[in-house]
Amino acid sequence: MMYEGISHKCGYNDCYCLDSDELRVNLHVNRHVTKAVLIWEDPYISGISGVYSWDGKPLEMTVSRELLFENIYSATVRPPYRRIQYYFLLTFDDGGSRILLEDGLYDPSFINRLDMARHFFKFAWMNESDICRPPQWAENTVWYQIFPDRFARVEDGCGAAFEKWDDVFVKNHKCLYGGNLTGVMSRLDYLSDLGVTGIYFNPIFKSQANHRYDTTDYEIIDPVFGTNAEFKEFVRTAHRRGIKIMIDAVFNHSGTEFFAWRDVLEKGRDSKYFDWYYVNDPDRLRKKGNTKDGRFYSFAFVAEMPKLNTNNPEVVNYFTGVCRNWIRDFDIDGIRFDVGNEISHQFIKHLHKELKKEKPDLFLLGEIWTDSAPYLEGDEYDSVMNYPFMQSLGNFFTDRQLDADDFKRKMNYCYSLYKEQINRVLFNQLDSHDVSRIINRAGSYDVFIQELTILMTMPGTPCLYYGTEIALEGENDPCNRRPMPWKDIDAGKYQSVTADVKRLIEIRKSSVLASSADLVWCDPPVCSSRDPGGTEKDHRSRLIHYRRGHDGRCGIFINAGDAEVELSSVGEVLFARKYDEGRLKAGGVLVAIM
């Protein structure tokens, strides 16, 4: 028997409340474990009259996630008294068995040793305040990310010098195109028709750069973009259309023209805001160039973005007030936190507590590119930008040595990181302002549609970066931030692409997929396949097949291989590309009721 790789923690993502009644228990094991049974009961129930000899009742666990080097077994229980005591009984592939207690593995006979201390696992109480409850509305939202300077511009007569909107090849990082709120307002019909139900804005507050991540005033909408009154009216108009609004909060750092940093520059250590930042050498604050010399800390080494000390109570209180005003003044529905894992836990906990008082269903989203579990215990962020999803998806289509099992394990990894209720609202995207556009990375329209189909049919809340619905091109910044080509869009140039995207959004919003975190991996019903030379082969290896929906009615097939594949037992077709009379061609997609 091999014991390595067997683990469980009573808490975190291994044992947690799904809701007020149900408790999820997860166990990590190596591949030599063939069966896992959860032995559980209320901790205060005795098994022998007059003698404390606790006995549990068995519940066989099922494999919920198959990963590269481990399996995760899961079980859901409904404790009648809102608490449980438990241990695990494991069976191995050689026929042997062991029990897992909190302090390790033992022979099963050890459980009857009344003369020995037995370290049972114990979930002490299902406290309401400890239950992770992301806003339910976020589960069914289809987000659309807008980079304000590049989405749409309606001339306002201000006379500012902007780049020509139709010059889509952005020359440098400083180009200003003058996208404005009036322009976004003029395209609300377009977004509604696309199926968008949530808009996420990159920063909209006053700053010096076109990206506006160097905020100079957190309470004034950038004059190039519009006014506070205009934004308030915009949110009201969007709400009438059923569209939620989320804005970007840049609290990891400020711009150099922010009042607190200006005061530090002027007064040095004598500034009352000196401790709002991480200043190591006040005498060199005005030195030009990056901050690799350590004179002060900044975002990355960007001197124009001095890092705020979010451990400082004054900083915490100031930005809590800023967010509170955003909610009261604009009635926003969500806040996305830039560089969300560099902000202190105590700051986000405080924000969560105070802002949920203002608006209980406010959606708090963290920008974190890696495993974000420490921020997702229920008292900080509600969700994070799911970059592991985007990266795992991209790696599968890039590396053609990977097969469908590799894809399954990569996706399972992404969904094994968090609680099930978090998986329902994970912010999934294929591209953003920080990476090259998906059509460039995909390399073909086939792969583009395949990835988009996966985005719209996997658990989580999908987000389109502006222009993805027309397969807008663009390598890394600044090219991935080119202006929307509205003349071509209005002329119908991208109708076929948009039609595909709209149909996938419709499916995502339908009752078939909505409000479901279920994900079931299936063996593809392959009859036969032929390579381009006409030779019959088994090309199942890169044929992805999974089912979604509460009853598993929605089947998704992605043929990422090189050969045409014959499928059987396919029902009503909801969406298809390169599929004809039961045969799915290489590069093809099929979404169907099974």
Please report the pLDDT score of residue 167 as a whole number.
Answer: 84
pLDDT, tens digit (0-9, with 9 covering 90-100), for 336-382: 999 999 999 999 999 999 999 999 999 999 999 999 999 999 999 99
What is the per-residue pLDDT for 48? 46
Quick check: pTM over 0.85? Answer: yes
Note the helical H segments in 222-306.
228-240, 259-267
The better pLDDT of the pair 52, 12 is held by 12
Q: What is the pLDDT of residues 135-169, one digit of tens each?
A: 999 999 999 999 999 999 998 656 578 999 988 88
* E-only strand ranges, 202-312: 205-207, 215-221, 244-249
Task: Tell me how crowded residue 569 is: count the other CB atoms within 10 A of its CB.
Answer: 10
DSSP assignments along 321-343, one per residue: HHHHHHHHHH--SEEEETTTTSS
What residues are annotated to the active site?
A: 338, 367
Which band of pLDDT confidence, cut at 50, 70 and 90, is reported for residue 594?
confident
Q: What are phi and psi of 268, to 5 degrees?
A: 60, -135
- Residue 486: predicted pLDDT: 97
- Residue 206: pLDDT over 50: yes
Mean pLDDT of the chain: 93
Mean pLDDT of the 453-472 span: 97
d(CA 406, CA 398): 13
Helix axes of 387-398 and 404-416: crossing angle, nearest 10 degrees: 170
Average pLDDT on 507-514 reads 87
Q: Which candidate, 376, 411, 405, places its Cα nearest to that of 391?
A: 411
| pLDDT band for position 516 (cuts 50, 70, 90) | low
Q: What is the mean pLDDT of residues 301-309?
A: 97
Q: Is pLDDT of 274 > 80?
A: yes
| Residue-level pLDDT at 530 | 55
Nearest residue to 67 (alpha-carbon basis) of 5, 17, 4: 5
Is-contact 122 11, C-beta < 8 A?
no
Q: Please tell me the predicted confidence (pLDDT) of residue 561.
A: 94
- Residue position matching structure tokens 């974190």: 368
- 102: which residues sit within 8 A by CB, 6+ positions away? 10, 119, 120, 121
pLDDT value at residue 533: 55
Alpha-carbon gap, residue 350 to 369, rounded angstroms: 23
Q: What's the pLDDT tens digit per position in 332-348? A: 999 999 999 999 999 99
Tell whether the model's pLDDT for residue 504 goes beyond 70: yes
Across 86-90, 424-428, 488-492, 516-520, least confident range: 516-520
Say how far apart CA 132 and CA 384 lie, in whole Å: 14
Place of tokens 């093809």: 588
Q: What is the pLDDT of residue 54?
A: 85
Decide: 242 and 236 in contact? Cβ < 8 Å: no
The encoded tokens of residue 249 equal 């909060």
What mean pLDDT do residues 459-468 have? Answer: 97
Res. 515: pLDDT tops 70 = no
pLDDT of 526 reads: 52
What are the start-end ranges of the H helices in 333-384?
345-358
> Which DSSP helix (H) or strand (E) runs through 579?
strand 573-580
Per residue in 391-405, pLDDT (tens digit) is: 999 999 999 999 999
Least Cα distance to 384 among 415, 350, 340 occurs for 340
List Cα–Cα distances, 499 to 320, 487, 496, in angstroms: 42, 18, 5
From residue 441, how far is each of 199, 370, 380, 438, 493 by CA, in Å? 24, 20, 33, 5, 22
Q: Is the pLDDT of residue 49 over 50?
A: no
Name the residue among 176, 172, 208, 433 with its Cα closest to residue 304.
Answer: 208
User: What single letter denotes the amino acid at residue 152?
Assistant: A
β-bridge mates for residue 74, sequence order: 26, 62
User: Could you tell me the two tokens for 166?
Assistant: 């139709």
Q: Residue 220 pLDDT > 60, yes or no?
A: yes
**Crossing angle for the helix pair 445-457 and 387-398, to the nearest 10 degrees:** 140
Q: Quote the tokens at residue 41.
A: 């009961």
Average pLDDT over residues 104-118: 92
Residue 233 burial by CB count (10 A; 0-12/13-18/19+): exposed, middle or buried? Answer: middle
Domains (ranges, CATH) in the chain?
A: 15-130 (2.60.40.10), 136-252+310-509 (3.20.20.80), 253-309 (3.90.400.10), 519-593 (2.60.40)
Confidence grade of residue 1 (pLDDT, cut at 50, 70, 90): confident
